[in-house]
Amino acid sequence: MSALNSLRDLLIDELQDLYDAENQLVKALPKMAEAATDDELKAGFSDHLEQTRIHVSRLEQALGILEVTAKGKTCKAMKGLVKEGDEAIEVKAPDAVRDADLIGAAQRVEHYEIAAYGTARTFAQTLGEAEIAELLQLTLEEEAETDQKLTVLARKINIEANAAFSNKG
């Protein structure tokens, strides 16, 4: 049981949730990169791992501005999303079908992050915390770019996945 007494408390809670979410991703993305067959998808996951480490440090900065230590919350949603990613990693499927599955899992993650960062950024703006709002906006834009790159990759990989099925009749 915890209490939130103000919008500032709620912003801190959102930042702690995101901090855990991003740390879960630092662990999950190398596994997704390893499971991916397509070279561009593999590289995309590795690139996003590097960005995700920066996202972690921006959240530490944001919490630092609020004089709070980053820690102590579990993002339950990211736990579930990572589990779905694990299912895609473990599924027995043609390579391109697994890649298409991994993209679906990754885009769910990006959309969750986009929603969470948008919410937190707007709280920060309302609170007059311009520097925090700016940090969150930067990350939000990188999540959106990642989502768009995945959409472009899916166009190619979905066709390959469909061909893999056709070949086996």
Binding site residues, Fe ion, CB under 5 A:
52, 55, 113, 143
Residue nearest to Fe ion (CB): 55
CB of 100 to Fe ion, least distance (A): 19
Query: CA 99 from chain center: how many Å?
Result: 17
CB of 169 to Fe ion, least distance (A): 38
Whether 73 contacts 16, CB under 8 Å? yes
Pick the closer one to Fe ion by CB: 89 or 164: 89
CB of 52 to Fe ion, least distance (A): 5
Range 116-125 contact pairs with CB under 8 angstroms and sequence separation of 24 or more: 116/14, 116/17, 116/18, 116/21, 117/18, 117/143, 119/14, 120/11, 120/14, 120/15, 120/18, 123/7, 123/10, 123/11, 123/14, 124/11, 124/62
Pick the closer one to Fe ion by CB: 38 or 44: 44
Pick the closer one to Fe ion by CB: 97 or 146: 146
CB of 74 to Fe ion, least distance (A): 17
Pick the closer one to Fe ion by CB: 81 or 97: 81
